[in-house]
Structures are given as structure tokens and as C-alpha cells.
Amino acid sequence: MNRQPYQNRPTPRPQPAQPEPKKAPAFEVLNLRLLENAGSLRAYASVKIGPLTVHDFRVIEQSGQAAWVSVPQKSWNTPGGERRFSPLLELPPDWKGPLSDAVIAAWRAAGGGVQ
């Protein structure tokens, strides 16, 4: 039996190296402005994220719920008079927890919320 080498076999492609997951940068709360009589809005924070400084993160605490951090946002009114909000930036999912922890810790240290 005369065998010829298998010519049509696809050449295996090298698999791209999987990038290592990036860990969240250090978050430093530079400024915290506590608010009173502002509904569920408790504070504004300026946060240094790596080389960037982002202003107006909001600490929100609704009755009976744990405090949480909202990214800066813009608001506008629709022609029907309804108020709408849109975030000014999006954080990677793995940054949200550490950033929120840093801002809430600074807020509590400044006397906000129940410790």
C-alpha cells in the first residue's frame, strides 16, 4: 500500500496567551464633603484612581439599606418633565468593590453613618 502524507491537515494555530487579570489600583479619597438635609445623599467624594482624580462620587444611604457609592453622573429633564440620569464614567467590575470600600470607610471615619 502506497501511503502519501496527509496534505490537507490544518496546521494547529498557536493559542494567544491569556492576559493576567489586572488588579484594581489603589483608591485614595482626597476630599469628602458631608451633607445634611439632602435626602438620601450623604456625601460627595473626590477619589484618586492611579494617576487620575475623579470628583463627585456620591455616598447614598437610603432608609433601612446599607450605604453605597455612585459614580459621578449628569442629569437632565425630558420634555415631559421627567428627570433622567446618566453616569459620566464606567468602572471595571473588579474596581467597584475596592473603590466603594475606600469611600465608605472614609465617610464613616469622617462621622458619616452608623459605625
Q: Which residue has the cell 437610603?
A: 62
Tell me the sheet residues that pair with 48: 28, 53
Which pLDDT does position 6 carry in this prediction? Answer: 60
Tell me the sheet residues that pair with 45: 32, 57
Those residues with Cβ within 8 angstroms of residue 28's Cβ, 6 or more apart along the chain or in another chain? 47, 48, 102
Which pLDDT does position 41 carry in this prediction? Answer: 95
Question: What is the architecture, at CATH level 2, of domain 27-109?
Answer: 2-Layer Sandwich (3.30)
State how far the Cα of 115 lies from the Cα of 112, in Å rounded to an integer: 8
Q: pLDDT tens-digit profile of 78-111?
A: 999 999 999 999 999 999 999 999 999 999 999 8
